[in-house]
Amino acid sequence: NKQVILKHHVTGFPKESDMEVKESTICLKLPEGSRAILVKNLYLSCDPCMRLRMDPRGKSGNFGSYLPSSVIAGFGVSKVVDSNGAEFKKGDLIWSVTGWEEYSVIDPATATRTLFKIEHTDVPLSYYTGILGMPGLTAYGGFYKVCTPKKGEYVFVSAASGAVGQLVGQFAKAIGCYVVGSAGSKEKVELLKNKFGFDEAFNYKEEHDLNAALKRYFPEGIDIYFENVGGKMLDAVLLNMRVHGRIAVCGMISQYNLEHTESVHNLFSLIAKRIRMEGFSVFDYYPQYNEFLDVVLPQIREGKIVYVEDIAEGLENGPAALVGLFSGRNIGKQVVVVSHD
């Protein structure tokens, strides 16, 4: 059983060499008296929050730190090879939290909130790591429920070409908002405008003055900011919000590798502009997963929503793909293929 092992806890930027890919043995017999399932992992999801679990202080709110010398875990799509309980049978497809390894044992009794049987297979299975999985639900809950958007509003999305951002932009366009995204390369900016239909997009790495850039794209201010990056971008956005604006704080990737997070200087805008700034966790939206599927699946089938993935082939390329999130190497949702079937 090939596995990705975290060698030690990480401070600063994660490196490929913080992990190693090793062969280990796995007991193929499931523990008696449990409802455990043995799964073959097919597609693994690279998520920024995995960096927080590499931290010795376990900065991720929902899961604790990874243990050094142990296999790392994250969301993935897997096929059931053996099952103790009646709810899963051999051949079933699931998406769940699983190990970064070829085969894993999952206990539905402890994974209830994060284990879903895949019922619709007429779309790419890897989508259940992205648009139809945790990042998709994040975009859905964060945009529709937290941002409470209205037609015609001015929406700004950071890390806009990523797993979550590309969807937020498309949701916002679909209800008639004016949408601008920021991303870290020319190629990503083109993607935002030409593939996802953003009205405008800019490369934040080429802007010396983010406040001026935002003023250029939002001369009348921002109603909704979908926050994925934090730091200097958040500070600049605060200066450009409109009265009664909403900021959905989804993530702050620019801060995940820092020992001490940067100070935010412009919080006073929250008062002056009566802004609602609200953090949220995708875990709150799991009970609404079926509602989300009902909204998003038909739009994928009809080609009304598109999704771009960045596919790394093979578990041995997993560590590079994962650390690539922090240099913006990924274009779209970063997936690692362990096996195609």
CA torsion sign for 309, 315, 318, 321 is: negative
Is the CB of 165 or the CB of 169 nearer to ligand NDP? 165
State the residue for tokens 């937290």. Answer: 146
User: Which residues does 168 contact at the CB level (< 8 Å), separation at least 6?
Assistant: 139, 142, 143, 155, 157, 160, 226
Token output for 139: 């975009």
Is the CB of 4 or the CB of 234 nearer to ligand NDP? 234
Q: How far is the CB of 30 from ligand NDP (least distance, A)?
A: 31
Is the CB of 118 or the CB of 321 nearer to ligand NDP? 321
Task: Tell me how crowded residue 108 is: count the other CB atoms within 10 A of its CB.
Answer: 18
Is the CB of 10 or the CB of 250 nearer to ligand NDP? 250
Q: How far is the CB of 127 from ligand NDP (least distance, A)?
A: 14
Q: How far is the CB of 253 from ligand NDP (least distance, A)?
A: 4
Is the CB of 175 or the CB of 249 nearer to ligand NDP? 249
> Is 272 exposed, middle or buried (CB count within 10 Å of its CB: 0-12, 13-18, 19+)?
exposed
Q: How far is the CB of 232 from ligand NDP (least distance, A)?
A: 8
Q: How far is the CB of 18 from ligand NDP (least distance, A)?
A: 17
Q: How far is the CB of 308 from ligand NDP (least distance, A)?
A: 10
How far apart CA 273 and CA 258 sit, in angstroms, is 30
Is the CB of 38 or the CB of 139 nearer to ligand NDP? 139
Q: How far is the CB of 272 from ligand NDP (least distance, A)?
A: 26
How far apart CA 93 and CA 104 sit, in angstroms, is 14
The answer to whether 308 and 330 are in contact (CB under 8 A) is: no
The answer to whether 154 and 181 are in contact (CB under 8 A) is: no
Amino acid at 154: Y
Task: Tell me how crowded residue 198 is: count the other CB atoms within 10 A of its CB.
Answer: 27
Site of interaction with ligand NDP (CB under 6 A)? 47-49, 135, 138, 159, 161-165, 183-185, 188, 228-229, 250-254, 280-282, 325-326, 328, 330, 333-334
The answer to whether 242 and 270 are in contact (CB under 8 A) is: no
Is the CB of 37 or the CB of 234 nearer to ligand NDP? 234
- In the complex, which residue's CB is closest to ligand NDP? 162
Paired strand residues for 249: 227, 279
